[in-house]
A and B are shown apart, each in its own frame.
Chain A
Amino acid sequence: MAQEIKIVSVSIPAGLVRELDRVCDLEHRNRSELYREALRQYLKLRRWQALREYSSAKAAAAGSDGIDIEKLIEELNA
């Protein structure tokens, strides 16, 4: 089933557009493809960073509780 596509209008500095257009030429992709890919990667990275922040806090709390994180990693390797 085809994905619903919405057309949006955004403002982008001309210099950045020129840079992105150079990448389009290099990779033989159109602007829409490149912008979609950039947005997907940004959203994934943001999602990962949120997980990292949560996990780091949990690791710190576990360390305070005397849990040996290095040992946990070794257990997962076993």
Chain B
Amino acid sequence: MPEMSTQEGERIAIETAIWLEALLFGGSAEELIKMSLTGRVRLVGTEVQITRLLEVLRDRLGFSEAALREVRGFVEDQVEIVTPGPQPAAGVLEPLPPILQAARHGSVTAIATTGRSSLLSLESFEGIPIVSMA
């Protein structure tokens, strides 16, 4: 399983779960967030991912509205939000997961996931390596 090693200025699409893992447990997920604080890497994501993260924090973990506003503000400061292109019509093709949409439209050089992500079995997407923050 490939693990994360970043280069200066790298653009990285990150899985929503990395934010949750970083917030709750720290570890290597937090290290990636801290690298974005110092400008060593640029994080890329979609609005759908932020919304999903905030839903889990509010509905499952009981974050206050003030805390949710703070999380949103922080994430928006750290993540370059990309707008995915049109999705395939229902029944034609499965829509891409948000992280892969971010990767496709965000000119990224890597896709970072948690160690348990099912995406790791792909190894890469459209030539972009999928790496684990485990």
- Listed in ascending order, the chain A residues whose CB lies under 8 Å from chain B are 41, 44-45, 47-48, 50-52, 54-56, 58-59, 61-62, 67, 69-70, 72-78
Closest residue of chain B to A60 (Cβ to Cβ) is: B24
Q: A72, B26: Cβ atoms under 8 Å?
A: no
Q: B74, A47: Cβ atoms under 8 Å?
A: yes
**CB-based A-B contact count at 8 angstroms:** 78
Contacts of A72 in B (CB 8 A): 20, 56, 60-61
Chain B 50-87 interface residues, beta-carbon cutoff 8 Å to A: 52-53, 56-57, 60-63, 67, 70-71, 74, 77-78
Contacts of B57 in A (CB 8 A): 55, 58
In the complex, what's the smallest C-beta–C-beta distance from A20 to chain B, in angstroms? 16
* B116 CB contact (under 8 Å) in A48, A61, A77: A77
How many Å lie between the Cα of A73 and that of B113 in the bound state? Answer: 11
Chain B 106-132 interface residues, beta-carbon cutoff 8 Å to A: 113-114, 116-119
Q: B114, A77: Cβ atoms under 8 Å?
A: yes
